[in-house]
Chains A and B, each alone.
Chain A
Amino acid sequence: MNNFWVALVGMTCITFSCRYFFFSKTVPFELGTKVKRLLSYTAPSILTAMWVPIVFLGHQTTNDDFITSPFLIAGLVTVVLSLKIKNTLAVVGLGISIFGLLKVII
């Protein structure tokens, strides 16, 4: 791609600006208690909005059936594991292994 360097510099600026924006001293804006409480739901909401489509719609990318989709089954198993096991690494590792296993079987 001829414009690669332009794309790279542009993307770098965009991602950094989004991350830096509210750290800027020139942005005149104070967070009230209500906004702070609203923001406290940021992490669970956004992470869920990212994992749910992968688990429930992932079968569309690989042309599997919904019910037998490795994304769905392994995803739901990972949910159960995350409630039972405290160790994050174990949950993630087991979840991915089950997914891999299902990919081979189905």
Chain B
Amino acid sequence: MSTSHIVIARKIFISDLKTINQATIDIFPLALATVPWGVLCGSLAINVGLSPLQAQLMSLLVFAGAAQLAALTIIGAVGSLSSIFSSTFVISSRHLLYSAVFREHVRKSSLGLRCSIAFFLTDEMFAVTCAYMEKHKIFSPIYAISSGVVFYLIWNISTFVGIIAGQHIPNIEHLGLEFAIAATFIAIVFPAIKNKSTLISVISSGLSAIVLSIFLKEYALIAATFIGMLCGYLTNDKECIDE
């Protein structure tokens, strides 16, 4: 390799390191906020009768907080496999939307890269990667994967803590740990509202989430999301005409 090649390779290496560093900084607060949820997942798994290994494997392989908690609740109530699978699908179906958003940026990559990005695709990873995309006008696979990996590590460490400590905290599921998730999502959503259409999509999705979760609990999340997206989409149209 000639000297100029080494210089270029070095520059790429340094800029990659910067991207990884930025991803870690951006995802860290969001990952910290899911620690209570991870702890809850770990301790609940032990409480419904899973072995510590099974409890940890769930976070290592499934890696989806809401779906894991729902499944654990069903296992605790001695529910059927089919109800576990259908609730997992309903809760995870939002990830279909995320993969549709990243599709055009990821589709031409190698199978390994596509699988890695898919595996680490969570609400939080999606949110920070979108913000990065908005700011730099480019999709960075390195950014996406490194933020996902940081999140994965913290999720699994907190599950582990839950497996160890959760057995000693009584009524852990009644402490209101889910508020940490609400606080995180609030902190992501509000700074991202920069125009009228996004505001409208947030308001309409929030209102319909309340109404729908009273009437059709299981599908409230995905239905409210679509209503929010549609309202935002329609608002944007009018703005374009006005201009």
Contacts and interface: CB of A to CB of B under 8 A. Distances in A.
A49 interface: yes
Contact of B92 (A14, A41, A56): A14
Interface string A41-55: 111111111111111
Given A23-B117, A31-B104, A46 B221 contact: yes
A54 B189 contact: no
Nearest to A54: B182
A18 B85 CA distance: 13
A82 to B, nearest CB: 4
A74 B184 CA distance: 12
Interface string B77-96: 01001001100110011111
Interface in B191-226: 191-193, 197-198, 201-202, 205-206, 208-210, 213, 220-221, 224-226
Contacts of B186: 51, 55, 75, 78-79, 82, 91, 95
Interface string B115-155: 10111010100110010000000000000000000000000
B228 A44 contact: yes
Mostly helix, strand, loop or mixed at chain A's interface?
helix
Interface stretch (B2-10, B15-23, B27-35, B159-167): B27-35
Interface residues of A, number: 65
Given A1-B75, A49-B206, A11 B30 contact: no
A46 B184 CA distance: 13
Contact of A70 (B176, B180, B213): B176
Contact of A37 (B181, B205, B233): B233
B184 A54 contact: no
Contact of A92 (B50, B84, B183): B183
Interface in A79-106: 79, 82-83, 86, 88-89, 91-93, 95-96, 99, 103
B210 A78 contact: no
Bin the interface of chain B by size: 35 or more
Given A1-B75, A95-B186, A58 B176 contact: yes
Given A23-B106, A23-B117, A44-B192, A52 B99 contact: no
B205 A49 contact: yes
A23 B96 contact: no
A36 B179 CA distance: 32
Given A50-B123, A56-B210, A86-B191, 8 more contacts: A11-B62, A15-B88, A19-B119, A45-B202, A48-B206, A49-B206, A55-B186, A71-B179
Interface of B: 28-30, 32-33, 36, 48-50, 54, 57-58, 61-64, 67-68, 71, 75, 78, 81, 84-85, 88-89, 92-104, 106-107, 114-115, 117-119, 121, 123, 126-127, 130, 174-176, 178-193, 197-198, 201-202, 205-206, 208-210, 213, 220-221, 224-230, 232-233, 236
Interface of A: 1, 3-4, 6-8, 10-12, 14-16, 18-23, 25, 31, 34-58, 61-62, 70-71, 74-75, 78-79, 82-83, 86, 88-89, 91-93, 95-96, 99, 103
- Per CB-CB distance, the 10 closest pairs between chain A and chain B, nearest first, are A45-B228, A89-B29, A95-B183, A41-B232, A20-B118, A49-B224, A54-B182, A51-B185, A22-B99, A82-B190
